[in-house]
């Protein structure tokens, strides 16, 4: 049917049917048949699926597209339908790959203990922060990006790079209780620098550093770096230099925190998940006080 439809203007329907030994009456019956309910449904869903995929950095696979449609009120959409239509539209999620590490360890430094021991779980916001560095290749050279709750980009792996990201994180959480917060990083010299340690102490945070020779010592931060590289850097490059990496990273992080669905959070964006936590706590305090 598709072949006939694509070539009917060139050769005509009846000659093609004769060559293919395909009954013209059958072709005519199919062509004149009213579209089925499934076909009508597919026509309605395809633009919505394309919209969700485009609006989310073109990185969602079927699971997250389906979850977002359900969040928007389309509870009757089946996941298998979304997967089928994405395949028909040529849409797919990004696939993560391994990335090199940027840790520059100083074996002479006395480092804090590993307080996390691969248990990257927190009972509440601001109980555990993880920090790490990654890199981006640009036309003007390497750009290094530090992530924690804040972030910063630089053309060099200077100690101030990590410190600037920490300052942004503390500023972003101003007014919130940080005392007792565990700050976990790898053994990079940037995180063992005196000024960095002093700033952590001033904020009331406790330093934790991954154990030596443990490839999973900072797995949560490295997992985020992998997402960042897969969903933005590798997909949307090449990059000219520091400025366009900064601009793109700013937009990506806004989406990541405010709108991106996270499977580990029940397909909920981080900002929404945190807001629900504080809302539930207020309800509990109100109930107790009464």
d(CA 190, CA 79): 45
Using the 8-state DSSP alphabet, how is residue 188 labeled?
Answer: B
**pLDDT tens string for the chain (290 positions)?**
567 667 677 777 778 777 767 777 776 666 767 778 888 899 999 999 999 999 999 999 999 999 999 999 987 899 999 999 999 999 999 887 655 455 555 544 567 888 898 889 898 999 999 999 999 999 999 999 999 999 999 999 887 999 999 999 999 998 788 999 999 998 888 898 899 999 999 999 999 998 765 557 889 999 999 999 999 999 999 999 999 999 999 999 999 999 999 999 999 999 999 999 999 988 877 777 66
CA distances to 17, 50, 170, 203 from 150, in Å: 65, 32, 8, 14
Locate 222 and state its tokens: 């490295």
| pLDDT the model gives residue 76 | 85
pTM for the model: 0.79
């Amino acid at each position: 049917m598709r072949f006939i439809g694509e070539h009917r203007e060139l050769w005509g329907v009846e000659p093609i049917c004769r060559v293919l030994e395909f009954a013209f009456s059958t072709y005519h019956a199919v062509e004149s048949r009213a579209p089925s309910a499934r076909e009508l449904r597919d026509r309605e869903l395809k633009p919505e699926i394309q919209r969700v995929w485009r609006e989310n950095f073109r990185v969602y696979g079927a699971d997250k597209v389906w979850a977002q449609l359900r969040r928007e009120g389309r509870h009757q959409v089946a996941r298998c339908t979304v997967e089928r239509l994405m395949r028909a539209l040529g849409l797919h999620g990004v696939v993560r790959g391994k990335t090199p590490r940027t840790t520059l360890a100083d074996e002479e430094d006395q480092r804090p203990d590993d307080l996390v021991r691969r248990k990257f779980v927190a009972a509440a916001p601001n109980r555990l922060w993880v920090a790490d560095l990654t890199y981006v290749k640009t036309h003007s050279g390497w750009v290094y990006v530090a992530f924690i709750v804040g972030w910063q980009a630089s053309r060099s792996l200077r100690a101030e790079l990590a410190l600037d990201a920490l300052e942004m994180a503390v500023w972003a959480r101003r007014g919130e209780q940080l005392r007792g917060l565990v700050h976990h990083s790898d053994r990079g010299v940037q995180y063992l620098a005196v000024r960095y340690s002093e700033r952590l102490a001033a904020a009331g945070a406790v330093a934790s550093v991954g154990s030596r020779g443990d490839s999973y010592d900072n797995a949560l931060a490295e997992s985020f770096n992998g997402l960042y590289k897969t969903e933005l850097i590798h997909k949307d490059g090449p990059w000219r230099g520091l400025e366009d990496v900064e601009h793109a990273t700013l937009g990506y992080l806004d989406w990541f925190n405010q709108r991106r669905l996270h499977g580990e959070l029940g397909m909920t964006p981080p900002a929404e998940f945190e807001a629900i936590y504080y809302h539930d706590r207020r309800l509990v305090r109100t109930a107790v006080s009464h």
